[in-house]
């Protein structure tokens, strides 16, 4: 059976969980991403999150894939040094602009659940971050 040709920024997706580490560094097995985001970013703007008493600076990755802007960043509210919760925002879902290293995105919220003793909370224990980004400054929406 022949496989369809993959685009330059894509790799095959394997659902079974038996894919070897592509770096060859370890013998761990797991899933692979369907899109390789390592070298195709068009920019890495630093976003200042003003969250009341706390201010964070987070580097976002901006991609242009199939003509659509895509932003990937780490949630500064629910991420910890041990666990980074990544957010992906697509221009098809949220209005955004990226010009001259300045990123603006209409209000969006974090979709991660804050882990506690109960692992499946059905959204009841979700991170409360909801911000809008205006020229690299994120403020509560």
For 20-62, write each residue's pLDDT tens digit: 655 666 665 554 555 555 567 899 999 999 888 889 899 999 9
pTM above 0.75, yes or no: no
At 57 the pLDDT is 93
CA trace torsion 19, 23, 68, 101 (10° rounding): 150
Residue 32 · residue 13 · CB < 8 Å: yes
113, 117, 36, 118: which is closest to 75 by C-alpha? 113
Domains of the chain, by residue range, sit at 1-36, 40-140
Residue-level pLDDT at 111: 85
- Parallel, antiparallel or unpaired: strands 46-51 and 137-140: parallel
Q: What is the distance between the alpha carbons of residues 111 and 14, in angstroms, rounded to a whole number? A: 24
* Share above pLDDT 90 across residues of the chain, in percent, rounded to a whole number: 43
Q: Which residue has the higher pLDDT, 64 or 105?
A: 105
């Amino acid at each position: 059976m022949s496989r369809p040709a993959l685009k330059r920024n894509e790799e095959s997706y394997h659902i079974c969980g038996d894919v070897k580490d592509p770096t060859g560094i370890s013998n761990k097995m797991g899933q692979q991403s369907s899109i390789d985001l390592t070298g195709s970013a068009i920019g890495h703007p630093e976003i200042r999150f003003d969250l009341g008493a706390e201010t964070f600076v987070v580097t976002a990755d901006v991609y242009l894939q199939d003509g659509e802007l895509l932003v990937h960043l780490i949630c500064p509210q629910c991420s910890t040094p041990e666990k980074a919760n990544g957010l992906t925002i697509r221009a098809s879902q949220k209005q955004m602009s990226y010009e001259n290293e300045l990123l603006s995105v209409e209000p969006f919220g974090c979709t991660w659940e804050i882990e506690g003793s109960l692992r499946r909370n059905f959204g009841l224990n979700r991170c409360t971050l909801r911000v809008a980004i205006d020229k690299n400054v994120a403020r509560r929406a």
